Amino acid sequence: QGASREASGGAGREEGPFELECMPDELDSFTRKAVTHAVDGWRASEGGKFRAEFYWSDERSPDRIIAIQRLSAIAGLCYCDEASSHLCLHPTYGAWMSLRC
């Protein structure tokens, strides 16, 4: 059911499950800023001759959804166990990683 705002410093009003989805995630925000800054710096160092388009794992528009687990496996970041657990497993961190961009 809904989570109490009191636990997070709110006024004690019950929230529906979808209200929390609209709240900005600090790690997502930081990741977007850091990746965008790094790529913009790289593009500037190359004279701006490369174009960059970002696809983020939390995007919900039908034309922006990507198979980020498969992409991470193809890129060699991890092994994607599609047969049973459906987890991406990193050689060092196991399943303790987050795929964001």
88 DSSP β-pair partners = 80
How many residues appear in the chain?
Answer: 101
Distance between CA atoms of residues 36 and 32, nearest Å:
6
Query: What is the tens place of the pLDDT at every residue in 22-32?
Result: 667 788 888 88
* CA torsion through residues 52, 44, 73, 99, sign: negative
Containing 89, the helix (H) or strand (E) segment is: strand 88-89
More confident position, 89 or 20: 89
CA 8 from chain centre, in angstroms, equals 23
pLDDT at 7: 42
pLDDT at 53 over 80: yes
- Specify whether the CB–CB gap between 30 and 22 falls below 8 A: no
* CA torsion through residues 36, 39, 45, 48, sign: negative
pLDDT tier for residue 10 given thresholds of 50, 70 and 90: very low
Helices (H), the chain: 26-45, 68-74
